[in-house]
Amino acid sequence: MNTARLNLRTVLHDDAARIAALAGDWDVASMTGRIPFPYSEQAANQWVDGVSEQEEVFGIDLDGGLIGICGFTLDESGDAELGYWIGKPYWGQGYATEAARAVMTHGFSKLGVRRFVCKHLTGNEASARVIQKLGFRYTGTSTGWCEARQCDLPALTYERRRPWTMAIRALAS
């Protein structure tokens, strides 16, 4: 799947070293739910092996090099939880928004996702901006586990329902 600047593709074991290097940066890992710190290449390989059938996970490539990950976990009700991270050298350039928008469009139009939910840890203003640009609606506060910090932290939650035009097209198919 391609966007204007990015290629979204299957994550491979060959990506493990790059995933560990980028996601293993404290500034990245400490704002995510599932990334440990420190993050080894072996742990990244285990993560690649552990991607389940309920997950749609894409490596985000820029000019042939991996810069992050974006994907979602689908539940039985047709809802999906969106997640993403971008390596620190690539922050502030719109890559997370661009990748997440494409992944959400894929989920809505190809997989019948009814609603995306997501959250960010309190204080992660960059992720808040991405979520806002993607058209999510604030739904409240919660907590979120942070593997790097080994604790639950305050978080803000959001949702975005499938646009009605996509729902009509899905019914017509």
Range of the domain at 26: 6-172
Is 168 among the domain residues? yes
What's the CATH code of the domain at 135?
3.40.630.30
What pTM value is reported for the model? 0.92
110-150 residue pLDDT tens: 999 999 999 999 999 999 999 999 999 999 999 999 999 99
Distance separating alpha carbons of residues 81 and 97, to the nearest angstrom: 15
Is 12 among the domain residues? yes
| Mean pLDDT across the chain | 94
63-78 residue pLDDT tens: 999 999 999 999 999 8
Is 137 among the domain residues? yes
Is 62 among the domain residues? yes
Is 1 among the domain residues? no
The domain total for the chain is 1
- Site of tokens 């609603």: 115
Contacts for 70-79 with beta carbons within 8 Å, 24 or more apart? Answer: 70/8, 70/96, 70/99, 70/100, 70/103, 71/103, 72/103, 72/104, 72/107, 72/113, 72/116, 74/107, 74/111, 74/113, 77/114, 78/112, 78/113, 78/114, 78/115, 79/113, 79/114, 79/115, 79/116, 79/117
